[in-house]
Amino acid sequence: MAGMAINPDGSLNTKKLQKELIQGLEDDRNYQRTDDMKKRAIHVAGTYDEFRNMVLCANQQPVTRKELESLSKPSKGWQNSRTQSGLPGTSSARAKKKTGQGEIKASKKLEVPKNSVEFERDWRRKCNTDLKKIKYLRLVGPRRLAALFAGDLDAALLGQLLGALGRALALDGPPPDVP
């Protein structure tokens, strides 16, 4: 290894030496931790499997407070266009419409959803106007909607539902096109 750390002109390659030294120190630390754990585990473990598992865990690092807190925070699986850009009619959305990108060749006919995932999917994809949102809510009905979200309802979706209903009521009832 020492031959690799010498440049062709005979000078030392300090970067390679530094990397080798750091790697050697880390290997020594890992060896020492494993050896210490073996010495502790031999007295504590009841079976070989327990001993083996304790030794395998010797080089693990403790979980930091920040990592532990991030585990409890829910992460969203999808984000709608309003949360990403602020407004639904941004220039990128208009550009996609002009070029034909982003269009999904799917049935625009609304059907009663079988579960909350189908409801949210159809709500995002097919209900892009207040009129369509009200039609969809009437199609689903209050009892079915309550059954779909009996366990959990996302706060963002609840806000969208209430917003659509509020705008419909602001017009003194549902829009005239809705039967």
- Same domain? For 57 and 116 the reply is no
In-domain check, residue 125: yes
Q: What percent of the chain clears pLDDT 70, i.e. is strictly above it?
A: 74
Tell me whether residue 78 is in a domain: no
- Has residue 73 been placed in a domain? no
Listed residues 26, 42, 62: the one ending a domain = 62
Specify the number of domains making up the chain.
Answer: 2
**Cα R_g (the chain), whole angstroms:** 30
Considering the chain, what is the average pLDDT of its residues?
A: 79
Structural domain of residue 24, as residue ranges? 13-62
Q: Are 33 and 58 in contact (CB under 8 A)?
A: yes
> What pLDDT shows up at residue 174?
54
Does one domain contain both 56 and 111?
A: no
Q: In the chain, which residue ranges form alpha helices assigned H by DSSP?
A: 14-44, 48-56, 65-72, 81-85, 91-99, 116-126, 130-140, 142-148, 155-170
Name the least confident of 45-59, 97-111, 157-171: 97-111
pLDDT tens digits, one per residue of 63-86: 888 888 888 777 665 655 455 545
